[in-house]
Amino acid sequence: MADSSDTVAANARRLDGAHQGVEAAALPEPVAEMDPDAHRQEALGAVAAAASLADLDEVRVRYLGRRSALKLALREVRDRETGMALNAVREAVEQAVASRQQQLERAELDRAIAEDRVDVTLPGTPHPRGRLHLVTQVRREVEDIFLGMGYEVVEGREVETTHYLFDALNMPPNHPTRSPLHTFYVGGDTVLRSETSPSQIHTMEAKPPPIYMVSLGRCYRRDTPDATHYPIFHQVEGLVVDHGITLADLKGTLRTLLRQLFGAAREAKFITHFFPFTEPSVEVLVSCFQCDGAGCPMCRHSGWIEIGGSGMVDPNVLRFVGYDPEEVSGFAFGWGLERMAILRHGLPDIRDLWANDLRFLRQF
C-alpha cells in the first residue's frame, strides 16, 4: 500500500487542480474587451472566406455557437446599449451565414449538375440474370401440380439406412439392388438412396392415414455415365393411402399428371410390371407427343413412351408401418425428373444436365 501521507497530498493537489479548472471554465470573457465592430468585421470576413459548407459550419460554431465569445458576452451583458450592439452583431453574422450557405449550396448544385451529368445514350452495365436449372424448373412444376391437387410436399433423406431403402420396401434379402455394385454404401448399413421410395415409409411412420404426398429429390446409383445414365438423378415419389383407394385412382391421378406435363391431348397406358413394394405394379406410358402415336424415333416407332413405375401399395408395406391393409389401401409411383426434362425438350444426352455449360442451360 502507498504511504498514506503521500496519497493525501496527491488528492489535495488533484482537488485543487479541479477547483481551478472549474473557475477557469466559468470565468466569463471580459466583456469590455469585445469591440462589437471589430468582432463583426472579423466574423463577416470569416463567413465570406468559407469555401465550403463544412468550412461555413465551422465558422458558424466559432462565431455564433454556444461557447463563442459573442454568446458569452451576451450572457454577461448588464446595460441596454451593449446588449443592442452585440445583438446587432449577432443578427448581421447570422444573416451573413445564411446567405453564404445559400450561395455555397447553389454552387454545389451547379457543380453537381455540370459534373454528374448522365448520358442516357451510353450503353448500360449489363446485370446478368440467373435462372433456375432445368431440373429445378421441372421439380417445381411437378410440386405445383400436386399442391394443386391437395397433396403435401414431403422432404426425404438422401442418406438412408438399408432398413428404409430395402427391408421396409419389401425387398427380399437377395434383391440385386442391395449389392454394393448397384447402391453406394457409406459404411455399414448406411447408404445413399437409390430411389425416393423410402420417403413413403417415413411419411407413413409419422402419421396415420389419409396420406396424400409427393417427395422429390436426389438419388444415387453406381451407374457409369452415358447418354441415358448418370450416377446422380432426381425422382418424384408419390403416395396416397386412404379408405377405398383403387387402381382407378392411380390411373386418373397419373393421367392428370401426364396431361399437365406433356399436353392435354395425351393418353396414358398402364402395363403390368413388377416392383417389390407394389402389387399389382404397373409401368406407365404416355402417347408420343412428337408423332401423336403414328410412330417416330422418339417413341421408337411404338407410339408410346415409358415414363415410370407405379402400383398399388403392397399390403406387406402397409403392415410394416402398422397400417391395416383391410382398412386402407393406396397407390404409389416413382418417376425420374431428368427423364421428364429430356422427353419434353428432346435432349440428346443426360450428361448435359450436369455439365453446367451455360450455353446449354440458358436455353431453358
Residues that bind ligand DAH (CB under 6 A): 195, 197, 237, 275, 278, 309-311, 332-334
- In sequence order, the 6+-apart residues with CB closer than 8 A to the CB of 348 are 227
- In sequence order, the 6+-apart residues with CB closer than 8 A to the CB of 69 are 29, 34, 39
Q: Which is nearer to ligand DAH, 63 or 331 (CB)?
A: 331
Q: Which is nearer to ligand DAH, 160 or 195 (CB)?
A: 195
CB of 134 to ligand DAH, least distance (A): 21
CB of 123 to ligand DAH, least distance (A): 51
Q: Which is nearer to ligand DAH, 304 or 333 (CB)?
A: 333
Cell matching residue 167: 427391408
Say which residue the cell 420417403 belongs to.
199
Q: Which is nearer to ligand DAH, 68 or 200 (CB)?
A: 200
- In sequence order, the 6+-apart residues with CB closer than 8 A to the CB of 86 are 34, 36, 70, 73, 74, 77
CB of 218 to ligand DAH, least distance (A): 13
Q: Which is nearer to ligand DAH, 68 or 203 (CB)?
A: 203
Q: Which is nearer to ligand DAH, 46 or 201 (CB)?
A: 201
CB of 278 to ligand DAH, least distance (A): 4
Termini Cα distance of the chain:
82
CB of 222 to ligand DAH, least distance (A): 14
Q: Which of 282, 287, 257 is nearest to 271 (CA)?
A: 282
Q: Taking the CA atoms of 336, 145, 160 and 210 in sequence, report the sign of the dihedral they define.
A: negative
Sheet of 159-161, strand order: 159-161, 190-192, 185-187
Rg of the chain, C-alpha, whole Å = 42
> Alpha-carbon distance 125 to 115, whole Å?
20
Longest dimension (CA), the chain: 115
> Alpha-carbon distance 219 to 233, whole Å?
5
> Alpha-carbon distance 155 to 202, whole Å?
10
CB of 258 to ligand DAH, least distance (A): 15
- In sequence order, the 6+-apart residues with CB closer than 8 A to the CB of 319 are 325
CB of 338 to ligand DAH, least distance (A): 13
Q: Which is nearer to ligand DAH, 96 or 213 (CB)?
A: 213
Beta carbons within 10 angstroms of residue 248's beta carbon: 9
CB of 250 to ligand DAH, least distance (A): 9
Q: Are 272 and 290 in contact (CB under 8 A)?
A: no
Q: Which is nearer to ligand DAH, 193 or 266 (CB)?
A: 193
CB of 127 to ligand DAH, least distance (A): 41
Q: Which is nearer to ligand DAH, 149 or 291 (CB)?
A: 149
Q: What is the SS3 string spanning 293-312?
A: CCCCHHHCCCCEEEEEEEEE
